[in-house]
Amino acid sequence: MSFVNRFSDSGKTPWSNQLNRAFITRPSLTLRVLSSPPPLLRLKQGWCLLSELSRRESESQKMGLVGETIDSIKSIQIRQHLTQAISLGMIVTSALIIWKALMCVTGSESPVVVVLSGSMEPGFKRGDILFLHMSKDPIRAGEIVVFNVDGRDIPIVHRVIKVHERENTGEVDVLTKGDNNYGDDRLLYAEGQQWLHRHHIMGRAVGFLPYVGWVTIIMTEKPIIKYILIGALGLLVITSKD
């Protein structure tokens, strides 16, 4: 007699028949029990989900922080460029203001000039800087003046050797000559001109600085050096940090 027969003979139903009967009578309950994950599995899944959300939130915060940092750097760079441009503009404006102020004080359209030749040696040498002043006083023989000649762009600095006063107007015309030249300047004047008039005179020399004007001479004779100096100055202003 088998085990099943003995179990049946005892009046009890085998466990497999009981399970089948429970599945038939309460199928929804049995399915829910079988489909529900164990508590440990649910806890693990929830922990993984929380970790993933935390990681994504952290990455989002990092990306936001990086974006804010980049925007801040761009804003700082823009402010620095504006500040440097304003500084360069202030330097140029200050130089123009100083130049205009010197023109008003000295009464000369060119308060500072550079000696470009050796025609006034040994008194003034090439590269000396002359400071000019122009007043309403009549020009006298022996004074050193800077004058313009019609048809020439560069002023000339020479000494007045002769003065001619007009009888009808009282205005004074002058004749000039370089101390190191043999003859007067009539060959330098415009064709047919014998005298310089007052409107030709830019000013009288009232002071000088030796050799300081060589920088101007070098930049005039070699423009590439002038451009290099201007570029270096602009680069220095742009790259400087306040």
CB atoms within 10 A of CB 114: 20
CA torsion 89-91-96-97 (nearest 10°) is: 110
Cβ atoms of residues 160 and 145 within 8 Å: yes
Task: Pick the catalytic residue from 35, 36, 108, 185.
Answer: 185
Output the six-digit token pair for 133.
């002043």
185 carries an active-site annotation: yes
Distances (CA, A) of 14 to 29, 95, 184: 21, 113, 146
What is the C-alpha to C-alpha distance for residues 108 and 134, in angstroms, rounded to an integer?
5
164 carries an active-site annotation: no
Output the six-digit token pair for 45.
């899944």
Task: Pick the catalytic residue from 158, 184, 199, 200.
Answer: 158
Task: Pick the catalytic residue from 108, 119, 128, 200.
Answer: 119
Which residues are identified as catalytic? 119, 158, 185
